[in-house]
Chain A
């Protein structure tokens, strides 16, 4: 106790008398918030978890399968299918892994998010990170974190209900290349339920262009509840299945990887996820009760 007091007194004296600085006096500074270098705040995250928990437990009644395949330590790239006009799968996966595995998950999202005032800031505080390859590499390789990507990008959530559970193209397979470079496994997650929680009936491309968003959906929720439908999910039963981690037998840290190999691995993961989703749908008796 006295040591701390002495230190503060010394500091107060130093503020009044310009003492020469010595080399062994690093100044870490005091923090007032817990926002990390990515913009994530555990404090905000705790609040978000408290808000999302009833939705997770009672509304979507989320059930996981194979959660133990997500490692307790070390980096891994989680990939999942993406669906629902305002996707509910991202917060579900992040919430589930944080609560049940006790690890933070950084959700990689389009740059577009950053540009939207308030939403962009809120997204960053709850663990969203712009999907830049360098960001992913840092999270996975240097910091050994879990990063979540949706390789379908906006093509996933923007598809209409008629195309439900049909995986879109996996971009250019960038996620495989990043996992190879970082030397971490890819862990695919198949999600069933998100499609029905906010199905898109049709899209209005002209309106999307006008207000500058990637797509403008008209959802069944909106048709039923009006504007309120934007925040109102249908209580579809969520089931998530973690697939076996995929490791690539290549040296990490390379600048470039064979494009054909990358595309081949990405396609393999896509087919595996698609098969798993169909299998889960075969087992599903009811959209609402699982």
Chain B
């Protein structure tokens, strides 16, 4: 019996997670076709993933879905780092982008059978009234004040509605804890790799981290096994911020517990620290999520929280000694087209 392979669409192919996810799926023989959308060219070498350039809100997505008959959409293109983009772009990418994506996936006669969304534990926020561990069904205890958190909550609301309206479609939402890893750059990783690192005086919150490879492995896991539902993903254990910084060998720079935001402005302007509003509340109260549910699906993170921190700082140390690896790959439309479609290239079947 010949099984028809899966046809997968990945959003944000040019972003860190989209590229990683495409690479991971390429080695899966069950995946027949991978299509990546991005606003810029991909930054990682890809064997057989097709690339379509699109604007960030994916207005052409419904045409693409109908034309390519993709059965799975992996939505990795959600911005969780507010220091990277303007508030306008953040709204466009997260809210409008997801809306268009779900509209395309839910149109009548849609071939889409699974939607995977990469969300963040930012949706729980961080407040003094929080439980020590959030389970998936627990609501946040404080109103969302930052743009990223509000947009992610809106996105998850869309996804919930979509799942309700399309009971035949497998909808998987993964909420990842703060990511650390060899390659990814976040405000936290930037702070940790510098000689001084912000902390709020008098607070030493407990944090969870997940390693970047575990993020990709988990996305792959739910995609391959078609696992529906909402899941928290984080490395085992929690570390106090003082210990995280100690492992990374950086010195704490305590910021006043009152008027923290104002006190941090000059430090941010001077480029000493990165201090988005999400980090401010996190460095006050921390956050913990319960990962029992994803564990029951047969997934476990390879790195604990402490392991992720250690692995991260080892990579930083290596980079300090030998410098950044030169970009080993640049996308060129002609070259990629040649390797994928030219009759001159010998392609092994199966």
Residues of A within 8 A of B (CB): 15-16, 21, 23, 25-33, 35, 37-39, 111-112, 114-121, 129-130, 132, 134-135, 138
Contact = CB atoms under 8 A, between A and B. Distances in A.
9 contacts: A26-B303, A29-B306, A29-B309, A117-B200, A117-B201, A117-B257, A121-B204, A130-B128, A138-B132
B240 A30 contact: no
Contacts of A37: 132-133, 206, 237-238, 288
B132 A30 contact: no
Nearest to A129: B132
Contacts of A31: 239, 243, 306
Nearest to B200: A117
B302 A27 contact: yes
Nearest to B236: A28
Given A16-B318, A25-B302, A30-B306, A35 B128 contact: no
B138 interface: yes
B200 A132 contact: no
Given A15-B314, A31-B243, A121-B204, A26 B132 contact: no
Contact of B202 (A29, A39, A117, A130): A117
A121 B286 CA distance: 12
A35 B243 contact: yes
Given A115-B128, A132-B130, 16 more contacts: A26-B304, A26-B307, A27-B211, A27-B303, A28-B306, A29-B304, A29-B305, A29-B311, A30-B310, A33-B243, A38-B132, A117-B201, A121-B204, A130-B128, A132-B132, A138-B133
Interface in B263-310: 285, 288, 302-310
A120 B201 CA distance: 12
Interface string B111-151: 00000000000000000111111010010000000000000
Contacts of B318: 15-16
A120 B307 contact: no
B240 A33 contact: yes
Contacts of A29: 247, 303-311
A118 B308 contact: no
B202 A134 contact: no
B193 interface: no
A26 B247 contact: no
A31 B257 CA distance: 27
Given A35-B240, A117-B200, A121-B203, A135 B131 contact: yes
A135 B132 CA distance: 6
